[in-house]
Amino acid sequence: MRTLKKEYLLHLMLIPGVIVTLIYAYGPMAGLVMAFQQFEPLSGFFKSKFVGLDNFRYVFQLPDFGQVLWNTVIISVIKMVLFLIVPLVLALLLNEVTKQWFSRIIQSAVFLPFFLSWTVLGGIIIELFSLNGAVNGLLTNIGFKPIMFMLDNQWFRGIIIGSDVWKGMGYNMIVMLAVIIGINSTLYEAAEIDGAGRWKQMVHITLPSMAPILILLAVLSLGSILNAGFEQILIMYNPTVYEGADVIDTFVYRLGMFSQQFGPAAAVGLFKSVISLVLVSSTYYAAYKYNGYRIF
């Protein structure tokens, strides 16, 4: 009885969130029927013709779909890994900075590129890596031949990945810093009395304390395995690197340019959702089963 009363309050606290989510997140999901329709805005969801799995078939049979899917996965997996490692290393290094003012300046600076849109940054990056750009200037100065970075499939992928990590690393870094700050400092004091150096403290205290958040970030990032960064690639790519950098989202975007093809776009969206849900929930249960850890 006592617990029931207490749980009642917990339910009550959830009401506002549930309402908002029901209306604005579940409400629009009715629109997923578009994936099975030859959707026509003028006719709406009720009068548009149902075409079964035609939209899926149409997209999957397109000649480049395999290549595009592969590009998407490879780019996003590398981004995913780097988005965990780079901010982690940054946060750990920052944690070793003893001067507060220096640490704060770095934190602010690293977060800055996050505020600029790809429309603005894309141009700057293309310029940086062009033949007359700063990077090639540096290369020729130290005796290398200039490289056409943006017209080479391998280099281009690297630049796409690198620049995205550079732009977004501040975000995860701040999450990780917040965790590091929250670690009970008596642990460090005890370790220091035991004679553990900074390295050992990091390995035995900092990293284990961060494990939950690292698992969380890793699992959730799996949800975006089919998002390789639409806006960025759209702004930076060119015909010579379609082969290595055309991804699902840019592909669908171009599909929609001739005439707004809502059906195929919705089909791809649904496909992506299902894949991420499967990946995330299976890793969720794996983490729970082998580690006893619940992510949500």
Nearer to other proteins, 77 or 146 (CB): 146
The CB-of-260 to other proteins minimum distance in angstroms stands at 6
Question: What residue type is 273 in one-letter code?
Answer: S
**72 contacts 226 by C-beta, under 8 angstroms:** yes
Helix residue ranges per DSSP H, the chain: 2-21, 44-47, 54-61, 65-95, 100-111, 118-128, 134-141, 153-182, 185-193, 198-201, 207-222, 230-236, 242-245, 248-258, 262-291
Nearer to other proteins, 32 or 77 (CB): 32
The CB-of-240 to other proteins minimum distance in angstroms stands at 5
The CB-of-288 to other proteins minimum distance in angstroms stands at 10
The CB-of-50 to other proteins minimum distance in angstroms stands at 16
Burial annotation 46-73 (CB, 10 A radius, 16+ → b, else e): eebeebeebbbebbeeeeeeeebbebbb
List the one residue out of 117, 127, 125, 148 whose CA is nearest residue 230: 117
Nearer to other proteins, 78 or 295 (CB): 295
The CB-of-205 to other proteins minimum distance in angstroms stands at 14
The CB-of-206 to other proteins minimum distance in angstroms stands at 13
The CB-of-145 to other proteins minimum distance in angstroms stands at 13
The residue whose two tokens read 């340019």 is 257
The CB-of-108 to other proteins minimum distance in angstroms stands at 5
- Residue 279 neighbours by CB under 8 Å, 6+ apart: 222, 223, 225
For 89, the token pair is 């290393």
Nearer to other proteins, 59 or 75 (CB): 59
Positive or negative: CA dihedral 135, 138, 139, 145: positive
First to last CA, the chain: 27
Classify residue 144 by its DSSP letter.
Answer: P
Instruction: State how far the Cα of 105 lies from the Cα of 107, in Å rounded to an integer.
Output: 5
Nearer to other proteins, 46 or 290 (CB): 46
Nearer to other proteins, 141 or 259 (CB): 259
Nearer to other proteins, 15 or 52 (CB): 15
